[in-house]
Amino acid sequence: MNYFSLHHKSPTTTFKNAVVNGIAPDRGLYFPENITPLSKHFIDHISDYTNHEIAFEVIKQFVGDEIPAEKLKEIIAKTVSFDFPLVKIDENTASLELFHGPTMAFKDVGAKFMAQCLEYFNKDNKDEVTVLVATSGDTGGAVANGFLGAKGVNVVILYPSGKVSDIQEKQLTTLGQNIKALEVDGVFDDCQEMVKTAFLDEEITKTLTSANSINVARWLPQMFYFFFAYKALHKTQKELVFSVPSGNFGNICAGIIAQKLGLPIKHFVASTNINDTVPNYLVDGIYNPKPSKATISNAMDVGNPSNFIRILELFNNDIEALRSAFSSYSFTDDATRNTMKEIYTTSGYVADPHGAVGYLGLKKYGLNENEFGVFLETAHPVKFLDVVEETLPVCVEIPEQIQKVINNKKVSLKAASYQDLKDFLMK
C-alpha cells in the first residue's frame, strides 16, 4: 500500500515512511492510494470471527507486506486487549464504550497500535526517534502509556495549560522515563500548530514523527471498533447510525473508511461542542476555521480539525455527497449537562460530557423505527470527575488504571512559543 499527500506536492510513500515521518514533506496528511472493499462473505459472517481476526482483516491492506503477517497479528493482539461493550440506553440507542483500555479513552487503540509499529520499524535503527504530539486531553495520556519504555523512542507531549482535566494531566505528566510533557500557554490549536511547524523545520524534522491522528498508524486502527459494534448489532436487522463526538475528526473519519470497506453503516453524525467549524461548513459550504473555545468536553475543543480534509477526500470534495451520508451538529455546555441528567434519569447510565454530546447528535438527527443509533462513549466519566459529580447525583468510583497515577507528582516544562519547543528538542 502506498500513501499520497493530500496537498499533492510530495511523492507517494510506503506505510513505513508514512508512520515514521508522520506528515508529508509538503505538510499534507497522508492518505491511502486505494481502499479495497472486504468480501461480502466476511461482512455477512462477521460473527464467526474473533475481534483479533476482524482487526487483522481490516488493517492488513493498509500495512501491506511491510510488517509480516505473524508480527502484525502479534501487534493486534497487544492492541485489542480489552473489551468494547455496547450498553443499551433505550430501545433504539446504545453506547459503545471505548474506555476499557489502560488510559480509559478510545485513543488507547490507535496509540498502542502505532507505538508497536514504530518500535518494529525502528528496531534496527541506532538513532532515536522523537514522537511529537499535541493533545486536547486524552491523546497525551494514551500516547504516553502506549510508548512508555519503547526502545529508541522519546515522546514529547504538548498540552494547553489549564485546559485539560486534572486526571488527564496526571496521565501525561507523571510517567517519566522516555515521556516528557510541555505545558503551552494557549489552546489546543496552538499546540497543534507548533507540532506542524516543527515538521517543517529542517534543523529538527529528520528525527521527528507525530502520534496525533494525523499519523496513519494512529488514525486507521480506529476502524476496528466500528466493525466490533456491527458484529454485535448486525442481527438486529436495523440500519446503523453512528454518532461520534468529534474534535480533530480522526475517529469519525476512520468510521467512514470502515464504511468504504463495506461495513453497512447508513449515516454518520459528527457531534461537536460549540467549536462548530464543521457544522457551519455543512450549512453554508464555507470552511472557516477559528480559534477554539474551552468547554466541559475539552477533548473536542478544536477550531481547525486536521482530519476533515481526509473526510472531504473520501467524498471527492463533493459537499452534496458528504451531506447525504454525514451530518454535523454543535451543542452547548448547558445542553450537554442537561443531557447527562436526562440519560441518567431515564436509564441510570452515567455518560461523560463527550458521550452526552454524542447522544445529543443522535437525538438531533432523529432516528426512525428502522434505524438503530450508536453513540461513542470515548472516555470514562472519571476522567471528567468534577463535571460528572457536579452534574449527577453520583460518586464515581476511581478505577485501578486511574489510581495508579492520581497521586503521582506532575512534572512538566513551560513552552510559550515555538522557539521554546525547538530549543527543548535540540538539547
Active site residues: 107
Angle at CA 223, nearest 5°, toward 221 and 226? 140
Contact indicator for 146, 108 with CB cutoff of 8 Å: yes
Rounded-to-integer distance, Cα 212 and Cα 189, Å: 13
Residue 90: CB atoms within 10 Å: 11
Pairing verdict, β 13-14 and 2-5? antiparallel
Q: What are phi and psi of 162, to 5 degrees?
A: 75, 5
CA dihedral 233, 235, 239, 244 (to 10 degrees): 10
Q: Return the SS3 of 265.
A: strand
Q: What DSSP state is assigned to residue 379? A: B
User: 239: alpha, beta or left, given left = phi > 0 and alpha = psi -120 to 50?
Assistant: beta
Nearest to 106 by CA among 133, 141, 78: 141
Rounded-to-integer distance, Cα 151 and Cα 371, Å: 47
Pairing verdict, β 413-415 and 179-184? parallel
Pairing verdict, β 86-90 and 93-97? antiparallel
Contact indicator for 250, 218 with CB cutoff of 8 Å: yes
